[in-house]
Amino acid sequence: MRLDRIEREESVLVDVINCVNQPDLNDTSIMCQTIDVSELGMQVSSELDLPVNTRLGRRLDTETSLYRLESEVRWAREDGQFCVGLLLDKESPDFISWTKMFQLDF
């Protein structure tokens, strides 16, 4: 299993599934920008602060596939914009398909 991070800047719309610290965010959508992606997570930036432990859902459309993934905010920092690290939920509908993109073909 490879845990390489791939720099990838792409706009994504994320849905807030559950935010205990800011319940007003629940059931809202937020535009984010990916910074990098990996087999188990991704780093995104947004203009809105997303607290640690917030549950998010998103659809990622690529040229060849659609990925429905859920994740949890594991860390957050502010560098002019808010950046968060997301850990993908292994129970997401398309988690297995997502991880296959990062595996080496032998």
Residues 7-33: tens digit of each pLDDT: 888 899 999 999 999 999 999 999 999
Nearest to 58 by CA among 82, 93, 9: 93
Structural domain count of the chain = 1
Q: Secondary structure of the chain in the HEC alphabet?
A: CCCCCEECCCEEEEEEEECCCCHHHCCCEEEEEEEEECCCEEEEEECCCCCCCCEEEEEEECCCCEEEEEEEEEEEEECCCEEEEEEECCCCCCHHHHHHCCCCCC
Could you tell me if residue 64 is inside a domain?
yes
pLDDT value of position 2 = 45
How much is the pLDDT for 89? 97
73 lies in some domain:
yes
Model pLDDT, residue 3: 57
Dihedral angle at the C-alpha atoms of 24, 13, 102, 37, nearest 10 degrees? -70
Does residue 104 form part of some domain? no
77 found inside a domain = yes
pLDDT tens for 49-90 read 999 999 999 988 777 888 999 999 999 999 788 999 999 999
Is 106 within the bounds of a domain? no
Q: Would you say residue 61 lies in a domain?
A: yes
Residue 63: which CATH number?
2.40.10.220
Q: Residue 106: which pLDDT band, with cuts at 50, 70 and 90? A: very low
Position 1 in a domain: no
Residue 103 belongs to some domain of the structure? no
pLDDT classification of 34: cutoffs 50, 70, 90: very high
At residue 7, the pLDDT reads 87
**82 is in which domain, residue-wise?**
6-97
Asked if 26 contacts 14 with a C-beta cutoff of 8 angstroms, the reply is: no
- Per-residue pLDDT at 46 exceeds 50: yes
